[in-house]
């Protein structure tokens, strides 16, 4: 009888711990229940707009504090995060609303070789070692991958 009660107690405690402390994919929104990473890898303003619209739609659906949304730009898509891009004001606005914008450092280095200097990014951009690396890391943390 003691074994049965002990097993039941242990199972109840473990279930309680699992329910009481949900796994968080990221700490930017500690109570987020949904996590998304959006890839931007093309020099296509229509795609950039689509990615940002998708991010806004996710926030509207779940609520801004209930979803983590990260847009990762690399390759030709990094142009979306340049300081002088037509998208820079919207990127800043969405960043202030809680959407994260990650810029690929590998792409920045490649652009620097062509430009003769590192590209200037919008202040909202967070530089990460590599775009595909960041996407993979986020997927391993439970983020859903979207390529608009």
| Residue range 81-100, pLDDT digits in tens | 999 999 999 999 999 999 99
The answer to whether position 100 is within a domain reads yes
CATH code of residue 129:
3.40.1260.10
- pLDDT, tens digit, for every residue of 6-59? 444 444 434 443 333 333 444 566 777 999 999 999 999 999 999 999 999 999
> Strand runs (DSSP E) across the chain, as ranges?
34-40, 67-73, 100-104, 125-128, 144-146
The answer to whether position 79 is within a domain reads yes
The pTM is what?
Answer: 0.81
CB 53 within 8 A of CB 60: no
Number of domains making up the chain: 1
CB proximity list for 44: less than 8 A, separation 6 or greater: 77
The answer to whether position 18 is within a domain reads no
């Amino acid at each position: 009888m003691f074994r049965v009660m002990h097993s039941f107690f242990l199972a109840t405690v473990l279930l309680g711990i699992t329910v009481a402390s949900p796994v968080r994919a990221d700490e930017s929104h500690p109570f987020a229940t949904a996590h998304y990473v959006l890839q931007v890898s093309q020099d296509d303003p229509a795609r950039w707009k689509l990615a940002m619209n998708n991010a806004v739609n996710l926030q509207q659906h779940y609520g801004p504090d209930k979803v983590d949304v990260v847009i990762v730009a690399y390759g030709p898509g990094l142009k979306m995060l340049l300081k002088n891009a037509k998208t820079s004001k919207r990127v800043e606005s969405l960043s202030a609303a809680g959407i994260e914008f990650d810029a690929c450092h590998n792409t920045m280095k490649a652009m620097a070789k062509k430009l003769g200097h590192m590209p200037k990014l919008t202040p909202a951009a967070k530089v990460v070692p590599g775009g595909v690396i960041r996407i993979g890391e986020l997927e391993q943390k439970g983020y859903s991958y979207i390529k608009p």
